[in-house]
Structure 1
Amino acid sequence: MLTISILVIMNSYLFYGELSLSIEKMSIIAAILVVFFMLFFISKQYLFFLEEKHKIEIQNKTYEATLLYTQAIEERYKELRRAQHDYKNLLLSLESYILERDYDGLTDYFTRLKSNEVSSALNIGSQLPQLQNIVNLDIKGILMMKLLALPKDNFDVNIEIKESINFMNRDTVLLVRAIGIILDNAIEELMVLGSGRLDVAFMNFEEDIVIVISNTCKEIAFPLSKLKKEGVSTKGDDRGFGLTILSEIVDQLNDVYLETTYKNDQFTQVLTISKEG
């Protein structure tokens, strides 16, 4: 609008003689016009730069998420290949018992097999396809990496993701950090105990997505509110930094709520995330 106004005024001065301007005033108007065009050009270039920068950031984020997910897929593939190889050997062993009609030996072997690492590995692997219901690659990747990192002995892992989960209106970087901290704490506690159960559930409601992560935990002898204080932990003094950071991350997220409960040796973290963001 400023450019049009200046051009109209100059046109009136030059062609209609309605106003008389000195060369000095005309030079000032021309200078203003030049400055305006320069500012317009610089602003346009700056906006273009910001747009390109944003595109690059999105591309980098997508690449990192894809890389993380690819690594997780590769780990799962290796895990299942190992399980497949072991099961072939186990079937050959079972066949030898059957051919020899050594049913007592077969019963004993089968009993020992039930608690074997291989069956546990296949149990986890059979549940991992549920992660396909999560649309966001970075969320999917962090879950797969953490769950596959859990040792197979003496641990029962249950995954429940029945519906499509999509954090479309969310910056998932902070969510990945929050989920990672919760899983790290859960797995570390199970490792200390040497056995236990880990439950991971994603539930899709009309207005919210609810994430529930629960793990076996030793008795907590102090109020749960203290866990959010720096240095307080169920694992001992000066180790309670994870939940402190988790609380800080949740505080940065709009319409995200964290609920922590402990009941019957089960420590549960519930993240309620509004779809509107």
Structure 2
Amino acid sequence: FKTNWNRTQKIFYGLLPFVIGDMFQRIIALYLRFLFQLEYSAMSLNIVFNVVITLLLLPFYLLFFKGLGIESKDLKVDTIDKELRKTFRWLNASFITYFLLVRITTQAEIWSQRGMIVIDWNPYYIRTNILLLYFAIFIVSMLYLNYQKKEKQAREIQELKDKQITDLGRYSRHVESLYKEIRSFRHDYTNILVSLNEAIKDEDIVAIRSVYQEVIADSDRKFYDGKYDIARLSNIQNPAVKSLLSSKMLEAQKKGIAISVEVDAEIEPPALELIEFITILSILLDNAIDAAEQCTNGNIVFAYFQEYDRKIVVVENTTVEDKAATSHIFEYGHSTKGDNRGIGLANVKTILDNYPKFSISTNSSNHRFVQELVFLE
């Protein structure tokens, strides 16, 4: 089984189960020993006692993390956020230190009992002090990690709210400008019908034909412009998603990129955290705008629809290259246009890795780059 974990993630996920299991078992054993006044030598050889400790491990684990207000998702390693990356590296260093100290004192005790070495200190006493000290450090570290995660989440939510207000403002101004265009068209169309009415009254076929061919026949062509496609975003039921998409489409138009929006039926966001869905859309659309902007006749297609039990998002854009390389685009640090882009796509992969039913596929050919997200409900 191969993962995309980096070194920090491998060390953390590899040592965390051992450290928690070993530390919790020793804490439970220490408590039971003093509760029942058991000797250490008798306790370590008692099979029933060891079975009881093992059975108490799971409830102790659940009560411990519930008491600290920490959920399993809070133990997910974040190596993109600089401060969180430092915290996880500190935790890894503490795991390794605890592991080495416990193993050294345990091995020293075994060698002493076998007469291989002579020591003038009590390994069990030293190991118990290491355990209690590290248990306190572990609690503080978990609380600090939980605090950092909550702070980061609060910042992201606030940034999302601020951005949503800004995007909604842009969307409202765009809708207002379209409304003014439609009012203007209605006024012009009324004048056209008046002139046509006069021609009909005079039974002037030449004038009627002239008015139709020169004015009426092409009068609706202006509404084929891509800027009117943004109105299709009204089918997206979530305001935050709608405001983000409208903002990105308007940004693309401002840069001279043609857009096409296909959201033909009312649809809700897929079943993942809203902020994660918005993050994914933002990254994919930013990349699409970057690539299309480099093309002479750049364009972007955004589609969001549902097929049976699947919600599908398609982001397509033109590219300068006939066929862009796609094999390593989700690797951390890999980018064809700046570091942020590489980090962004790596972030998309990190988010989707938490949802086994969600996937992303990438295809590039004929100067088109297509990314398709599939959310299995």
Equivalents in 1 of 2:372, 2:289: separation in Å?
Answer: 16
Residues 92 and 241 of structure 1, relative CA distance in 2, 3 Å threshold: farther
Residues 1:173 and 2:269 aligned together = no
TM-score (norm 1): 0.58
**Any residues of structure 2 matched to 1:91-106 within 5 Å, and which?**
91-92=189-190, 94-95=192-193, 98=196, 99=198, 101=207, 103-104=209-210, 106=212
* 1:143 pairs with one of 232, 240, 245: 245
Number of residues of Structure 1 aligned to a counterpart in Structure 2: 217
Q: Considering fraction of residues, name the structure with more strand.
A: 1
Residues 59 and 80 of structure 1, relative CA distance in 2, 3 Å threshold: same
TM-score (norm 2): 0.45
Residues 240 and 224 of structure 1, relative CA distance in 2, 3 Å threshold: farther
* 1:130 pairs with one of 235, 241, 244: 235
Q: Give the C-alpha shift of residue 174 in structure 1.
A: 3.4
Of structures 1 and 2, the one scoring higher in RCO (CA 8 A, sep 6+) is: 1
Would the aligned equivalents of 1:154 and 1:196 in 2 still touch at CA under 8 Å? yes
Q: After superposition, what is the alpha-carbon deviation per residue over 1:70-113, rounded to whole angstroms, capped at 9, x for unaligned?
A: 32542343133223233224414533652452533542345654
**Any residues of structure 2 matched to 1:103-252 within 5 Å, and which?**
103-104=209-210, 106-110=212-216, 113-116=219-222, 119-120=224-225, 123-132=228-237, 135=238, 137-151=239-253, 155=258, 157-160=260-263, 162-168=265-271, 170-191=272-293, 192-194=295-297, 196=299, 198-203=301-306, 206=309, 209-225=311-327, 227=329, 233=336, 239-241=337-339, 243-252=341-350
User: Identity, % of aligned pairs?
Assistant: 15
Could you tell me which amino acid in structure 2 is paired with residue 260 of structure 1? T
Could you tell me which amino acid in structure 1 is paired with residue 260 of structure 2? V
Q: Give the C-alpha shift of residue 148 in structure 1.
A: 3.4
Would the aligned equivalents of 1:210 and 1:271 in 2 still touch at CA under 8 Å? yes
Equivalents in 1 of 2:360, 2:344: separation in Å?
Answer: 9
Would the aligned equivalents of 2:249 and 2:259 in 1 still touch at CA under 8 Å? no
Unaligned runs of 5+ in 1: 1-42, 234-238
Equivalents in 1 of 2:288, 2:216: separation in Å?
Answer: 31
Equivalents in 1 of 2:164, 2:216: separation in Å?
Answer: 41
SS state of the match for residue 193, structure 1? coil
Unaligned runs of 5+ in 2: 1-67, 70-142, 200-206
Would the aligned equivalents of 1:259 and 1:269 in 2 still touch at CA under 8 Å? yes
Q: Give the C-alpha shift of residue 131 in structure 1.
A: 1.7
Could you tell me which amino acid in structure 2 is paired with residue 120 of structure 1? D
